[in-house]
Every structure is written in structure tokens, then in C-alpha cells.
Amino acid sequence: MADNAAVKDSYLEGRRLEARARKENSAAAWLDFAALKARKGSYALAAMGFLNAGTALEATGDPAAADAYLKGFEISAKGGLKEPGLFLASRLAGLLERSSDFTGATAVYERLAGFCEEAGAFFLAADAGEHAAEMRRAAGEDISCYRRPAELWKRNAGYWAQNNNAGDMDWSLRRAELYLESIKK
């Protein structure tokens, strides 16, 4: 009876799948692991699995890497995991940028900015907003009215003002000004 219970234990199954994935370092093995962890609500481990699958796929030039990174970002957002979400969104946006899909990269950075803003991570949100502006410009868009990065830098300044850190508040306000100056060009 104990053996049967062990077979149905999702933690042990996850450990088995992770061991296989580490040994093989194959995208398929990492995707199996990530899918199990996502189903069980282990979002950080699922994000790790999707990241590893994406890098394995990217190393072989397989376009399915983008899907693995996207799934990992989505699971990170679902779990409220800022740092894994940042890593996965950055990998995905970089992949899209290298294939000259600037519109797709813009969308990824804007989703990251929104996710970070909702999480109160205004520095990360503003940085993602600036990346989105850069991708918009690379796509040939006029960004002279794209003020979201400046708004996010101001929110970051507000965060630092509430935390009595005048240096970071001033720096964030200056960053907002510099961004607004840069889009006039």
C-alpha cells in the first residue's frame, strides 16, 4: 500500500521528473516537470522548468522557445513572482527582438511593466516601460506621446518619498525628466 501511495505522490513525481530533466537537460523533460509543477501550484518551480526548457530550445534554434518563455512568464504572473517573471520576459523579449519582431517584444515589455506595477515594483515597471519605448522606436513608431515610462518613474519616486529616501526619490524624478527629454528627439 505504501508503494502505491508513493506512486501517486505529486512531490515524488516532481522530483523524479526534475532528476530526469537535470540528467537529460532536454526541453521535453523540463516541460514535463514544469507542467506538473504548474498544475500543483508550485509556481516558482514551474517557472524554473519553463526557463530551462526555453533555454534548451533556444540553444537549438527551436522557435518553441518563445512559447516556453511565455508560459513561464504567465505562471510567474499568476504566482506573483516578480524576479522569475522578469527573467522569463527578458528572455522572450530578447528572442523576439533578435528575430526583428519589435512589436512582439514591445508587448512583452508592456505586460512586464503592468505586472510589476501591480506588484508595487515600480523600478522594474519603469525599466520595462523604457524597454517597451525602445522596442516601439525600433519598430518605427513615433514615441513622442508614449509617457508611460515617465509616469512609472514618478510612481517609483513616490514609493521612495513614502520610505524617506530622498536620494532615490530625486534620482527617479530625474530619470522621468530624462526619459521625457529623450522622446522629444
Residue 175 maps to a domain: no
Residue in 147, 156, 154 with CA at minimum distance from that of residue 119: 156
Residue 159 maps to a domain: no
- Domain total for the chain? 1
Is residue 33 within 8 A of residue 13, CB to CB? The reply is no
Provide φ and ψ at 84, rounded to 5°: -60, -40
Residue 43 maps to a domain: yes
Cβ burial, residue 150 (10 Å; 0-12/13-18/19+): buried
pLDDT tens digits for range 42-53: 999 999 999 999
C-alpha span between 43 and 36 (Å, rounded): 10
Please report the pLDDT score of residue 8 as a whole number: 77
Residue bearing cell 524617506: 164
- State pTM to two decimals: 0.90
Residue 88 maps to a domain: yes
Please report the pLDDT score of residue 3 as a whole number: 53
Please report the pLDDT score of residue 155 as a whole number: 98
Please report the pLDDT score of residue 10 as a whole number: 87
Half-sphere exposure of 97 (CA within 13 A, CB side): 19
Residue 180 maps to a domain: no
Q: Report the CATH number that the domain containing residue 129 is assigned in CATH.
A: 1.25.40.10
In terms of residue numbers, what domain contains 64? Answer: 2-144
Regions of the chain short of the pLDDT cut 50:
1
C-alpha span between 142 and 125 (Å, rounded): 21
